Amino acid sequence: MQGRPLDGIRVLDLTNVLAGPYCSYHLMLLGAEVVKVETPGRGDLARHLGPDATLNRAGVGASFLAQNAGKKSIELNLKDDADQHTFEQLVTGADVLLENFRAGVLARMGFPWARLRSLNPALVYCAISGFGQTGPMSQAPAYDQIVQGLAGMMSITGTPETAPLRVGFPIADTVGGLMAALSITAALAARARTGEGTFLDVSMLEASLSSMGWAVSNYLVSGVPPEPMGDQNATAAPSGTFDAADGPLNIAANRQEQFETLCRLVGREDLLLDQRFAEREARKAHRESLNAELNAALRARTAREWEKILPAAGVPAARILTVPQAVEVEQLAHRGFLTEVPFPGDEQRTVRMTGNGVLVDGEPLTPTGPAPLLGADTARIPELLAAWGARTAEATS
């Protein structure tokens, strides 16, 4: 890899907690220089979030470490005149300004889009919020669970008996951050053609609905509302979680030939002659009966054994792992997905970080360093301004 795709791109990051920091983390992995602007003495709330109380008190909570590796940290009070002037100078030299305040907060601090654009006509300004910058809900507070509920995610998670359930990780924040990163890179590509900056208004609610794919489109196109189905796949059968001898196993025999192969491998070729299971729609209509027949056969072997037998014959199947098991999967190690970086402020310790699942010219994108201590780069602001100002002068000369 000769260089990362966003090498030379400068990101001024005002975000907190997850959606915004997750976005800028991926921009960093892609090569951008990310300068995190934090409130003096307090910093990103995520510094104090996580399962380890000692880390939380030290301002390096697990939630913060996970999303902020490779970034710089400066402390600025955007209500202070001197710090506002410094912020103006940084905006002038930045390529991207990213924030996830409630709609209109940055404008009320004195930095509406019109002013930001006058400071830097080439600036890509991305504002992430729960519901967008306009509309009747624009001022409503939004956390991940609130968005999950409003998007309909919770209504289709779980079984008819257990729904609504929250998805087991902050998916609305995550999808919002990814959509922001995608839109930023697209805006940078457009700027390369036009020289003009862009204002990007990212709604977590809308990004979440967009990410729900068939659950939403099936209703919009066919008028059929999705229902909670637990671990079963509404589009095919057999497709879901099944019972091996020692625990659960995921199988997705979504195509006819996969179903036929599955029946042969579990010793139940007779199922192919049963009209209830002859084709896709019939199998969906008789899902429970089919699952019961297959579960009885699958209990003859362990999940690990089936994980070797079925995929080798073209039937997608795998065990259901815990997170501690998942991060040790050999495939991840082969691709360099997890990387050890120094622990902030302690070079003798390391912490493992995730990548983004992308290889560039065969190489994984890994963090360029640890997450910063609060204000670790504040003293370097003059140096930073000089470097960003010099770049700006070169670009406009």
What is the CATH classification number for the domain harbouring 300? 3.30.1540.10
**Quick one: pLDDT at residue 394?**
58
Check whether residue 114 and residue 41 sit in a common domain: yes
Split into its structural domains, the chain has a count of: 2
- The burial of 28, by beta-carbon neighbours within 10 Å (0-12 exposed, 13-18 middle, 19 or more buried), is given as buried
Q: Which two tokens stand for residue 361?
A: 């010219």
Domain boundary among 321, 347, 377: 321
- The answer to whether 274 is a known catalytic residue is no
Let me know whether 19 and 121 are in one domain: yes
Q: Which domain holds residue 250?
A: 239-321
pLDDT digits (tens, 9 = 90+) for 109-133: 999 999 999 999 999 999 999 999 9
Looking at the domain assignment, is residue 90 inside a domain?
A: yes
- Assess whether 132 and 264 both reside in one domain: no
- Of the three residues 321, 346, 365, the one that is the final residue of a domain is 321
Q: What is the pTM of this model?
A: 0.93
Report the pLDDT value the prediction gives residue 393, as an integer from 0 to 100.
56
Do residue 16 and residue 95 come from a single domain?
yes
d(CA 52, CA 113): 39
In the chain (397 residues long), the average pLDDT of successive 10-residue segments reads 92 97 98 98 95 95 95 96 96 97 94 97 98 96 95 96 96 98 98 97 98 94 94 94 97 97 98 96 97 98 98 97 96 96 91 95 95 97 90 56
The domain that holds 358 is classified in CATH as 3.40.50.10540
pLDDT value at position 107? Answer: 95
Q: pLDDT above 90 covers what percent of the chain?
A: 94
pLDDT of residue 389: 83
From the list 13, 44, 95, 173, the catalytic residue is 173
Work out the number of other CB atoms within 10 angstroms of the CB of residue 47: 26
Would 225 be classed as within a structural domain?
Answer: no
Question: Residue with structure tokens 């089919």?
Answer: 290
**Confidence (pLDDT) at 391:** 61
If asked whether residues 351 and 315 sit together in one domain, one would say no
